Structure 1
Amino acid sequence: MKKLFSRLLSRLGRRATRAPITFRLTSIPPNTPAGATIYLTGSCNGWTTDDPAFALAFDPADGSYALTIPPGRGLLEYKFTRGSWATIETDADNRAMPNRRCQFGPRSRVVSLQVLNWEDQGGIIPPRQHSASPNVHILAPAFPMPQLRRTRRVWVYLPPGYAAGTRRYPVLYLQDGQNVFDQFTSFSGEWGVDETLDRLAAAGHDLGGCLVVAVDNAGPHRLDEYSPWRNRRARHGGEGEQYVNFLVHTLKPYIDHHYRTQPGCETTGIAGSSMGGLLATYAALRYPAVFGRVGVFSPAYWFAGQSLLAYVAQHKPRPATRWYFVCGAQEGPTMVPLMATLREALREAGVPAANLRFNVRPDGQHAEWFWQREFAAAYDWLFAEGLPVAAAPATSLA
């Protein structure tokens, strides 16, 4: 493990020469509120919408806005906003637009752009409809989080037939609850977990059913809560331990007391995407006797870097825990290597290959539509221990 650990740290430490990028907005909508601050939100800052480090500077000489971001690696995905998802940029018809993309390179450059509309200022906003299934309910709009001295909205999905039966069910805990069930509350698209599980149940492929508990993210504190380690560049992180303690010592006991659950680690899972994937990884390592099923979607391992690998070396994972990894080949050059590095660290720490599922989808991107599509396969593999697993319709690396 020591030789591998040193090699992995060296691998993470090597960085090709990269140069900063300056983004310059030459035009913004004429109805932009006077004095508004415009921010860049993207993969470089965990999609924080009001990060002061990514506020554009206004130039009164020509009315432009500019921001220079430090050198990075791989592909940068981003958008512009006035400080929230409600004020995100939109296209000429005031409809959602795909992420902007820019590749870091060896030479500094200026990227000139225009913002056509703001969602809240661009005229008629296409109405969002609630899309959550009837068997999804809000446990509490402000569930107490004593470990963080905050409150949070918590959602619960009950499998079909729950109300009429007496059996107990496995539980899956998901992060970024706004995006799990309801298009109305999502800030970048929903996973449709409820529709997926309802569909599997109707087809007789739901493995007996599962409760899903989804916790909203903390908005401006999202990066803080989803990593126990502080990232100096992002200037966030450090509250992940308290957040996981909330899940384990406050939320899970409540769920197990008030719902018919199977509380053992073999029937308790945790999953998330991006920073939520990092958090799920940490939670399973921190509490191996609690979380025995781990779903890791496009994890933001870059945020933790060497700290995560050191944690794996110091906190032996439970060999019987099942880990499902999935990401897209189009998520930048570091996504697959970093995910593979963590997979190898788990192997060296004693997790057998049979309990590690590693998937790279050729068309996958860092987006909710991708994670929505991949959820069924992850759920099936994580909770179908001992059952045959259907072949995935994409690249799978054991």
Structure 2
Amino acid sequence: MSDSSSSPSWAWPGHLHTLGPFEVPGFPSRKASVYVPGGDPTPLHERPVLYLFDGQNCWTDWGSYSGGWYAHEAVQALVGDGAFRAPVVVGLEHGGERRIDELSAWEMGPGRGGGAEPFFEWVVHHFMPHVQHTLGLASGPLHTVMGGSSMGGLAALWSHYRYPHAIGGALCMSSAFGVGGKALFPFVESRAKPAISRVYIDCGGQEGGGRMLATSEEMVHLLARKGYPEGGLLWRPDPGAGHNEQAWRRRLPDALRFMFRR
């Protein structure tokens, strides 16, 4: 595992920084990008961290095949409002043609999917500790949220329930909860609600002919039965929206305000 950034640039908040490339056993190598919000006096070891999948699309339109989330702008907007804790954002790039393999714990057809277990063993036990050590960030569920869209949203919720000792929340946009014959449902049903858990789920009404919205709402009902307290679970349907980066970029600021309010 290597780090191409050798300078102590974490003293320069308000800029994007690159880590890697990282060698991932059994998967393609990749880089990650980090944004530390500027203007926030909170020490790095006290800040929460949001890990986002599909890191190629987290930032600007440059480098993204369909537009960026502008996550750096959304998180920067939280700084100065005492109601929120502005997180450090880490965008982990996907593995190209192996993206579906690494983000699904279940097979999705011949030779597709089913690689999330080994991939997340690397994420949780190697990548996250490396980032925490490099930046001087805290570990553990009180400080750690996973997030993503589509397959990334599926992976965020699965990883939160699979690794509750390390991940304390999931930000799930337009999540592919129906893959693998809806295999995530019995998995979540079988697991206890993590002791530290905050979950955001949204979906557009135009995604998959409305089927994705219905499946996402079904997951919200399953989670609600686990006894989330007020403020622990948010469902945000977006009736007119499709499955695209523009919708996720528009909804991200509200998602961050829910996930990182004090």
TM-score range, shorter chain: 0.7 to 0.9
Q: Following the alignment from structure 1 to structure 2, what is the Cα–Cα distance between the partners of residues 357 and 165?
A: 27
Q: Which has the higher contact order (CA 8 A, sep 6+)?
A: 2
> 1:93-104 alignment to 2 at 5 Å?
none
**372-381 or 235-244, which moves further after superposition?**
235-244
Q: Following the alignment from structure 1 to structure 2, what is the Cα–Cα distance between the partners of residues 320 and 198?
A: 25
Give yes or no for contact 1:264–1:290 (8 Å, CA) kept in 2: yes
Give yes or no for contact 2:141–2:196 (8 Å, CA) kept in 1: no
Q: Following the alignment from structure 1 to structure 2, what is the Cα–Cα distance between the partners of residues 224 and 208?
A: 33
Could you tell me the percent identity over the aligned residues? Answer: 31
Paired residue for 1:330, among 191, 198, 206?
206
Paired residue for 1:150, among 20, 28, 41?
28
Structure 1 pair 214–224 and aligned structure 2 pair: CA distance change class (3 A): same
Q: Following the alignment from structure 1 to structure 2, what is the Cα–Cα distance between the partners of residues 384 and 178?
A: 26
Matched residue SS, 1:195: helix
> 1:261-272 alignment to 2 at 5 Å?
261-272=137-148
State the Cα distance separating 1:227 from its structure 2 match. Answer: 0.1
Give yes or no for contact 1:318–1:351 (8 Å, CA) kept in 2: no
State the Cα distance separating 1:309 from its structure 2 match. Answer: 1.2
Give yes or no for contact 2:28–2:95 (8 Å, CA) kept in 1: no
Give yes or no for contact 1:319–1:350 (8 Å, CA) kept in 2: no
Q: Following the alignment from structure 1 to structure 2, what is the Cα–Cα distance between the partners of residues 325 and 165?
A: 28
Q: Following the alignment from structure 1 to structure 2, what is the Cα–Cα distance between the partners of residues 227 and 338?
A: 17
Matched residue SS, 2:32: strand
- Provide Cα deviations, 1:182-226, integer angstroms capped at 9, x if missing partner: 32111111000012222332x646824211111111111111111
The equivalent residue for 2:8 is none
Matched residue SS, 1:369: helix
State the Cα distance separating 1:296 from its structure 2 match. Answer: 0.5
Q: Following the alignment from structure 2 to structure 1, what is the Cα–Cα distance between the partners of residues 222 and 113?
A: 23
Q: Following the alignment from structure 2 to structure 1, what is the Cα–Cα distance between the partners of residues 27 and 96?
A: 15
The equivalent residue for 1:229 is 106
Matched residue SS, 2:183: helix
> 1:19-30 alignment to 2 at 5 Å?
none
Structure 1 pair 247–206 and aligned structure 2 pair: CA distance change class (3 A): farther
Where does the alignment leave 5 or more consecutive residues of structure 1 unmatched?
A: 1-132, 386-398
One-letter identity of the residue aligned with 1:218: G
Structure 1 pair 242–350 and aligned structure 2 pair: CA distance change class (3 A): farther
Structure 1 pair 208–316 and aligned structure 2 pair: CA distance change class (3 A): closer
Q: CA RMSD in A?
A: 2.1
Give yes or no for contact 1:192–1:372 (8 Å, CA) kept in 2: yes
Q: Following the alignment from structure 1 to structure 2, what is the Cα–Cα distance between the partners of residues 368 and 158?
A: 22
- Provide Cα deviations, 1:146-200, integer angstroms capped at 9, x if missing partner: 3x353111111111147x8744211000000000013211111100001222233
One-letter identity of the residue aligned with 1:152: R
The structure whose residues are more often helix, as a share, is: 2
State the Cα distance separating 1:281 from its structure 2 match. Answer: 1.1
Give yes or no for contact 1:312–1:349 (8 Å, CA) kept in 2: no
State the Cα distance separating 1:260 from its structure 2 match. Answer: 2.8
Q: Following the alignment from structure 1 to structure 2, what is the Cα–Cα distance between the partners of residues 329 and 246?
A: 35
Paired residue for 2:224, among 347, 350, 374?
347
Paired residue for 2:160, among 269, 284, 299?
284
Q: Following the alignment from structure 1 to structure 2, what is the Cα–Cα distance between the partners of residues 314 and 264?
A: 23
The equivalent residue for 1:197 is 75
Structure 1 pair 320–200 and aligned structure 2 pair: CA distance change class (3 A): closer
The equivalent residue for 2:183 is 307
- Provide Cα deviations, 1:23-63, integer angstroms capped at 9, x if missing partner: xxxxxxxxxxxxxxxxxxxxxxxxxxxxxxxxxxxxxxxxx
Q: Following the alignment from structure 1 to structure 2, what is the Cα–Cα distance between the partners of residues 149 and 231?
A: 18
Tell me which structure has the larger Cα radius of gyration.
1
Say yes or no: does 1:368 pair with 2:248.
no
Say yes or no: does 1:136 pair with 2:16.
yes
Matched residue SS, 1:258: helix
Q: Following the alignment from structure 2 to structure 1, what is the Cα–Cα distance between the partners of residues 68 and 173?
A: 14
Structure 1 pair 178–349 and aligned structure 2 pair: CA distance change class (3 A): same
Given the two structures, how large is their TM-score scaled by the length of structure 1?
0.58
Given the two structures, how large is their TM-score scaled by the length of structure 2?
0.87
Paired residue for 2:128, among 252, 258, 283?
252
Structure 1 pair 330–257 and aligned structure 2 pair: CA distance change class (3 A): same
Paired residue for 1:381, among 244, 258, 261?
258
Matched residue SS, 1:371: helix
Give yes or no for contact 1:160–1:209 (8 Å, CA) kept in 2: no
Give yes or no for contact 1:180–1:191 (8 Å, CA) kept in 2: yes
Where does the alignment leave 5 or more consecutive residues of structure 2 unmatched?
A: 1-12
State the Cα distance separating 1:336 from its structure 2 match. Answer: 1.7
The equivalent residue for 2:150 is 274
Give yes or no for contact 1:136–1:158 (8 Å, CA) kept in 2: yes
State the Cα distance separating 1:229 from its structure 2 match. Answer: 0.2
Q: Following the alignment from structure 1 to structure 2, what is the Cα–Cα distance between the partners of residues 154 and 302?
A: 28
